[in-house]
Amino acid sequence: MSATSPEIDQRIVAGGIETNYHDVGSGAPVLLIHGSGPGVTAWANWRLVLPELAKTCRAIAPDMVGFGYTERPAGIEYGVDGWVAHAIGLLDALGIEQTDLIGNSFGGAIALALAIRHPQRVRKLVLMGSVGVPFDITRELDAVWGYEPSLAAMRGLLDIFAHDRSLVNDELAELRYQASIRPGFQESFSAMFPAPRQRWVDAMASAEADIRAIRHKTLVIHGRDDRVIPLSNSLTLNRWIDDSQLHVFGRCGHWVQIEHNREFNQLVSNFLAE
């Protein structure tokens, strides 16, 4: 791990893209795909999950192309095809034929699309606060994707993400604001989801028939009080994916893995170990 920042770890060329990723623990592999908040990195998203999963699994968490400390190739067009190809490129580069897959929010849509297009590469699927089905964009998601850097704007977003306001302090807001203005971060972020943003929700959705055809054992997780991604998304996924179970956390916003960290880690570890 880098001495300069815990967010910077190992580097590998994945699908032609120099990729920053974390790779901890040993055992059956599990690939974790982060969400799409401004300034997000795999580490910011999964820092409370990786050490726990590493006790029983090989946990791999990349910065997806366009985010964090992964290379941003000139002229790249961001979209589901590219993100799925990047994830598959990482598995190929690491010599992993099959993995468990955990996707958070935006990452849920990528995980869903990957499982549909490359079913043999996935063993079990975990979708948390997931995009990937049709829904009307929430005012809050519109605000997240439309973020213009300022400390006040970041503070406002963190208040949206967390149900428990005590998790959101000035120090965290400052930290995430600084993360969002690192060189290249906001440029790629604003290029991904320009207004009108409903079209990006639609573009990230997989077809109902394809989701219904998923045969992987799937765990669907959502915060009951999530204002960014509606709980109805997870109810839909649970209905459409035949071999799925749904766990809803009360008193929880869009950050299940942070707000209910211990329970989240236990739930996911048990599911993967079954």
Catalytic positions are 105, 226, 254
Residue 166 burial class via C-beta count within 10 angstroms: exposed 0-12, middle 13-18, buried 19 and up = exposed
Q: Count of alpha carbons within 13 Å of 139, Cβ hemisphere only?
A: 2
Q: Are 162 and 259 in contact (CB under 8 A)?
A: yes
The candidate with the shortest Cα–Cα distance to 54, out of 218, 263, 271, 269, is 269
Q: Are 258 and 168 in contact (CB under 8 A)?
A: no
SS in 3 state form for 124-173?
EEEEECCCCCCCCCCHHHHHHHCCCCCHHHHHHHHHHHCCCHHHCCHHHH
The candidate with the shortest Cα–Cα distance to 52, out of 261, 274, 273, is 261
- CB within 8 Å of 171: residues ≥ 6 apart: none
b/e map 257-268, b = 16+ CB within 10 Å: bbbbeeebbebb
Match 């967010």 to its residue by tokens.
7
